[in-house]
Structure 1
Amino acid sequence: MSGRKNISERRILIYSALLTLGFAVGGIVLGNWVGSMVIIFDGAYSLVSLALTLLSLLAATLMARPNSKRFPHGLAALEPIVIAIKAAVILGLVCISIYSAIISVFEGGREIDTSVATLFGLINVIGCAFGWALVANKNKKLGSGLIAAEIKQWQMDTLISVAVLLGFVVAWLLLQTSLSAYAVYADPVMMLLMAGYFLKVPAVMLKEALSELLHMSANNSLCNEVHQCVTEVPSNNAVDLTVSSVTKVGNELRIDIDMHIEEQIKIAPKDIEITRNQLAKKLKHLPYKCQLNLSLVV
């Protein structure tokens, strides 16, 4: 990763951390004040997000360091490790919140101050949407995996805030009708309704991060793009190129290519270097640091 890109990545993560800190403190304080478990969950999620953002910031700093004898291949694997930790923590937080919501339903629901809570929900939706848009916009040219995970955190936080707001609106509407007795269930039921989505997103993040750590093949679209680039390399009658494997680890794309040559034909080292340069030129547009491994196959 270039120095400029790494500086931009760290700057975005610092912005995200400062925004998250404000939402975390506000959510937990107000949630305890009005007695809403959904607001407390929103604040707790923001607090966890802050810790995870700081972890991403540390990883970005370490990944900027040059390769060393101890880490000859760099620290690209830190990116999927951090994403896996983020996903696992978010999954745990969601599961705990679902359990608390179920207990609350069986205990008769929770009374909340809907007027204050609704106002907080509206402010939170606007603020989280701003944070989501800001981080996503800054990552358009950067293409960072760490920032992409940060965007998903903001996306989840925004949707949590929308669910919080809807829950309080429903509770307020119920209070105006003959069904006012059921208003106490709006808060925990809304928490349960959110569960499906909030279990899916971190689960997908965890799956993708683990696939990188296990050096599984990259996704089909990326593999197809690499295959297309290799086929566009100027043909050489003495050499036939085939892609052996494509794996993605963090911001690195590791590509193994077999150079098939006939047994009676000798190939000079400069020809191999020319082929490598042609391949690197074709793959240059990909938003990753490409590592090419060429193997001679007779």
Structure 2
Amino acid sequence: MQQNNSREHALLKISVYGAVIFSVTGIVIGLLVGAQMILFDGLYSLVSLGLSILSLIAARFISKHDINNYPFGKDKIEPLVVLIKYFVILVLVIGSLASALMTLASGGREVAVGIALIYSTLATILCIGITYYLKKEANKVRSALLQAEANQWYMDTLVSVAVLIGFVISYLLNFFSATQFIVPFIDPIMVIAVSIYFIKVPIEEMSTALREILDMPPKGKMPDQIKQFIKGLANEREFDESIVRITKVGKTLWVEIDFVIKKEDRLASLTDQDQIREDIDRFLDQYPYQKWLTVSFTKDRKWAL
């Protein structure tokens, strides 16, 4: 666990350093060559920098144990940070879309294509490298914060690829006098296309984070698989009913199970209860999360509701 936290912190630092380079370079180049798309890329990286620092602070805070003030852990901080991150990105995307639409309506924008083409080529190569590395490591560490960082870089990679394609097209169109009138419109069109595509990413990620904050069941087959196992266990031991509550918050899978047993002889002893807990715990080992398991037994159904 401690090793994973240290690895998470180190990877978040890489994301921070990368965001510093891309934000400064993108904003400076974007202003120099008059490219709204490159400026968007730089501003996105600047926002990513602030969000990456926020993730790093959150990861360090979560890793410090404080059972007195946080008796149920600090898991909710992780989806809360993810929600904030994607909300800020959504605002940036919507603002860039509005700006690009106004630029398009006013007749486009002239861009120094040569410099922009060199920048976009280098930016694309570096973004692809960082995205690949972070995504690979995020799957190993199982960190929502790191996954959010990887998604940020993936989105930045898409921006860089779009910028590169757009400026390659602009460069080629400049060779033909009949098509030169199109060049000023390519930059805002790229921003519009990328913004429209980007809108769905933060909305989807915000939805997932909100489900965790509200303690809703996680998406996928996992909740049904757990409920089916518990139902089979209850039937095997002839319990009257089993009530299962499941949620995933951050890196922790929360499972609360209440068995209703009206005939006391169906459950022989505390040792028998612990054996049931052990069986459930072993079943949950297949899922790549920390576990918070609570198993209760009652004769009166009202204590299970």
Place the TM-score, normalised by the shorter chain, in its bin: over 0.9
Shift of 1:226: 2.5
Aligned amino acid, residue 56 of structure 2: L
Shift of 1:233: 6.0
Are the aligned partners of 2:227 and 2:244 in contact in 1 as well (CA < 8 Å)? no
- Over residues 139-198 of structure 1, what are the superposed CA-to-partner deviations in whole Å (9 max), with x where a residue is unaligned? 232111111111110110000101111111122222222020121010001111112220
Tell me the residue number matched to 1:65: 64
Distance 1:231 1:33 in 2: 65
Note the C-alpha offset of 1:17: 1.0
- The structure-2 alpha-carbon separation of the partners of 1:240 and 1:49, relative to structure 1 and needing over 3 Å to count, comes to farther
Whether the aligned pair in 1 keeps the contact of 2:234 and 2:259 (CA below 8 Å) is no
Correspondences of 1:144-183 after superposition (within 5 Å): 144-177=143-176, 178-183=178-183
Report the Cα offset of residue 264 of structure 1: 3.8
CA distance in 2, matches of 1:110, 1:232: 66
Structure-to-structure mapping, 1:70-219, within 5 angstroms: 70-177=69-176, 178-219=178-219
Does residue 1:275 correspond to 2:247, yes or no? no
Change over 3 Å in CA distance of 1:35–1:224 after alignment to 2: same
> Structure 1 residues 68, 28: CA separation in 2 closer, same or farther (over 3 Å shift)?
same
Contact 1:80 1:210 in 2 (8 A): yes
Quick one: distance in 2 between partners of 1:243 and 1:220?
20
Q: Secondary structure of 2:139's match?
A: coil
Distance 1:232 1:11, change over 3 A: farther
Q: Quickly say closer, same or farther: Cα 1:102–1:216, change in 2 above 3 A.
A: same
Q: Which residue number in structure 1 is paired with residue 288 of structure 2?
A: 287
Q: 1:252 corresponds to which residue? A: 252
* Partner SS for 2:155: helix
Q: For residues 200 and 239 of structure 1, what CA distance do their matches in structure 2 show? A: 45
SS at match of 2:108: coil
C-alpha distance 175-9 of structure 1, shift in aligned 2 (>3 A): same
2:102 aligned partner, one-letter code: I
- Structure 2 regions of 5+ residues with no counterpart? 300-305
Query: What is the TM-score normalised by the length of structure 1?
Result: 0.94
Which one-letter code corresponds to 2:154 in the other structure?
Q
Q: Alpha carbon RMSD of aligned pairs, Å?
A: 1.9
Contact 1:131/1:154, CA 8 A, preserved across alignment: yes
Post-superposition offset of 1:130: 0.3
1:76 CA drift (Å): 0.5
* Cα distance change, pair 149–113 in 1 and its aligned pair in 2 (3 A): same
**Number of matched pairs:** 297
Q: Does structure 1 conserve the Cα–Cα contact (< 8 Å) formed by 2:241 and 2:261?
A: no
Q: Greater CA deviation, 256-265 or 286-295?
A: 256-265
CA distance in 2, matches of 1:148, 1:187: 30
Identity %: 34
TM-score, normalising length: structure 2: 0.92
Task: State how far apart, in whole Å, the 1-side matches of 2:57 and 2:229 are.
Answer: 34
Give the gaps of 5 or more residues in structure 1.
none
Query: Residues 154 and 229 (structure 1 numbering): CA distance in 2 closer, same or farther, change over 3 Å?
Result: farther
Q: Secondary structure at the match of 1:220?
A: coil
C-alpha distance in structure 2 between counterparts of 1:63 and 1:238, whole Å: 42
